């Protein structure tokens, strides 16, 4: 891969990572609830989802989802319902006195553990891998940076590593910024508002997925 092509993709990868999406919302939600360390497992799952989508797009299967109305609709509906369910659960999350529920402080005080690493990884994974917007975007963008005259897999590996590098930094940045807000969310009223805002955003994003259209007939 030529250097100027990689630099162009590197810039695109930052733009993609920084753009608002379900991964950013989930990173901020878990950064706020569990701190940066607790959100790292979720972010790992997000990266596994990104890697899956990129590899699928790279070998051409992603195009099938765009070409096939049935396949695309299944992915879209699953992803939309999943985000709406997450949002509804966040909206109805109980608010108690003391430290904010789910934070490291409240975990230590109550003796309750965080969701397991496996649960957080799977949550991150399915959040990204069932998002048809990500599939459509990657399928549309990726071919622009692949030279058909060269071996495919080395190019995919470079693009994958670049994507994961930028996304890990950005998602941890979102989690860090959210975790800093914990001190301003000490009251039950503030935490209830937080749950409603984050839950509402997830529900809106899920509803928005129903409006995504295929790019091919």
Q: Can you give the length of the chain in residues?
A: 217
Average pLDDT over residues 23-36: 86
The pair of structure tokens assigned to 65 is 């989802």
Q: Where are the domains of the chain?
A: 22-209
* 88 Cα distance to chain centroid: 17
3 vs 169, higher pLDDT: 169
- The angle at the Cα of 67, spanning 66 to 68, to the nearest 5 degrees, equals 95
Please give the model's pTM, rounded to 2 decimal places: 0.68
Express each pLDDT in 79-129 by its tens digit.
Answer: 678 778 877 887 887 765 444 444 444 443 343 456 788 989 998 998 888
Q: Give the residue, 210 or 109, on which the prediction is more confident.
A: 210
Computed over every residue of the chain, the mean pLDDT equals 76
Q: How many CB atoms lie within 10 A of CB 77?
A: 14
């Amino acid at each position: 891969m030529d250097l100027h092509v990689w630099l162009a993709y590197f810039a695109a990868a930052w733009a993609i990572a920084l753009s608002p999406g379900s991964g950013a919302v989930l990173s901020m939600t878990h950064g706020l609830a569990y701190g940066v360390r607790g959100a790292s497992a979720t972010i790992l799952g997000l990266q596994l989802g990104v890697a899956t989508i990129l590899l699928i797009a790279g070998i051409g299967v992603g195009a099938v989802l765009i070409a096939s109305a049935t396949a695309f609709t299944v992915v879209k509906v699953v992803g939309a319902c999943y985000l709406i369910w997450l949002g509804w659960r966040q909206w109805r999350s109980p608010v108690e006195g003391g430290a904010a529920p789910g934070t490291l402080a409240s975990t230590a005080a109550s003796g309750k553990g965080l969701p397991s690493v496996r649960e957080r990884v799977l949550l991150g994974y399915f959040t990204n891998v069932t998002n048809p917007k990500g599939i459509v975007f990657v399928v549309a963008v990726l071919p622009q940076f692949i030279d058909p005259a060269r071996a495919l897999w080395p190019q995919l590996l470079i693009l994958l590593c670049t994507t994961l590098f930028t996304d890990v930094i950005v998602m941890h940045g979102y989690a860090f910024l959210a975790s800093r807000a914990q001190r301003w969310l000490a009251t039950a009223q503030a935490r209830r508002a937080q749950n409603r805002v984050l839950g509402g955003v997830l529900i809106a994003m899920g509803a928005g997925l129903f409006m995504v259209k295929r790019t091919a007939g």
